[in-house]
Amino acid sequence: MMIALDIFRALADATRLRILALVQAMELSVGELAQVLGQSQPRVSRHVKILCDAGLAERRKEGSWVFVTLGNRARVDPVLAALEAWRGTESDHWAVADAARLAAVRADRAAAANAWFEANAGQWDTIRSLHIAEADVEAAIRDMLGTAALGVLIDIGTGTGRMLELFAPDAVHALGIDRSSEMLRLARAKLAERGLANAELRQADLYALPMADAAADVAIIHHVLHFAQQPGAAIAEAARVLRPGGRVLIADFAPHDREEFRAQGGHTRLGFSDEQLHGWFAAAGLAPMRAEALSGGELTVKLWLGRKVGHPLKEAIAA
């Protein structure tokens, strides 16, 4: 009974209902919520605290930013279902306005990331090597993928096509996707130089891969996830295109506090924990197989390997 009282007290405010609807759509920082709601950050923070105290939302501190997402789904889903059932047929002017401002937030995020990509396209490989020796990362990726045939490979956020250079020769067919036309131009030049006839490039979004369900055997997301507005959705989309038993390999940073990467480099996330990745894996129908930390540079690079449920696991889960 007390849980129900806490929930209804938390929802007895129009702003908090709006916040719940917004974070249902996507994870947002407190500053972004304030931008959408047209209210001050302290006021929004107070509303967020009430939702968190009721278990309807969760806060996650990342550097100087605080992100807000939905709380435990066992508690939140019945509330969302009830709100949907009670929603009238007439459009809510606040919902319409919030949706428009939320679209602006998405556009701002995408523009910041795209501007960085375009400005640094020619130096992409060099910038990566500044964080950790890329040769060591590539060797670890090869070791994690093993010697089994790769079948159909998709490289999500291919950049200059380095993963295709390395692994397309071991694949039946390889597809690299990227949003940046400049990146794809550079990748095409590289792949042509290597004579990789089985490698294909397409301009596409990581949330809408140009591939049918269950069409790929291996998906690689290499140093891309920290730019994603919705990492869980990107992982779910990668899982969608995998056949049962197919594998996804993610290479990215462990959690860090280099705030300048977000301010100047377009990074949406300052690294990821095993708990975060495994949570997204579970939601996408992926079973974690291995995780490995690669230290030695200013940042620690992590590798995570998952397999799409539907195939007997032959490898033990490694912490």
What three-state secondary structure class fits 1? coil
127 pLDDT band, cuts 50/70/90, is: low
User: Tens digit of pLDDT for each residue in 95-120?
Assistant: 888 888 888 887 877 776 667 666 76
User: Tens digit of pLDDT for each residue in 184-232?
Assistant: 877 887 887 788 889 999 889 999 999 999 999 999 999 999 999 899 9
What three-state secondary structure class fits 302? strand
* Alpha-carbon distances, residue 36 vs 29, 31, 95, 197, 258 (angstroms): 11, 9, 11, 47, 26
User: Edge-to-edge, what's the strand order for the sheet holding 65-70?
Assistant: 28-29, 65-70, 57-62
pTM above 0.75, yes or no: no
- Cα 243 to Cα 152: distance, rounded to the nearest angstrom: 10
- Cα 67 to Cα 296: distance, rounded to the nearest angstrom: 29
Residue 126's pLDDT is 46
- Residue 282 burial (CB count, 10 A): 13
* Least confident residue range of 66-70, 115-119, 236-240: 115-119
Residue 114's pLDDT is 67
Residue 238's pLDDT is 98
- Tokens standing for residue 295: 């230290």
Average pLDDT for the chain: 86
Share of the chain above pLDDT 70, in %: 87
Residue 263's pLDDT is 75
User: Tens digit of pLDDT for each residue in 156-184?
Assistant: 999 889 999 999 999 999 999 998 877 88
- Cα 70 to Cα 55: distance, rounded to the nearest angstrom: 9
What mean pLDDT comes out for the span 18-46?
91
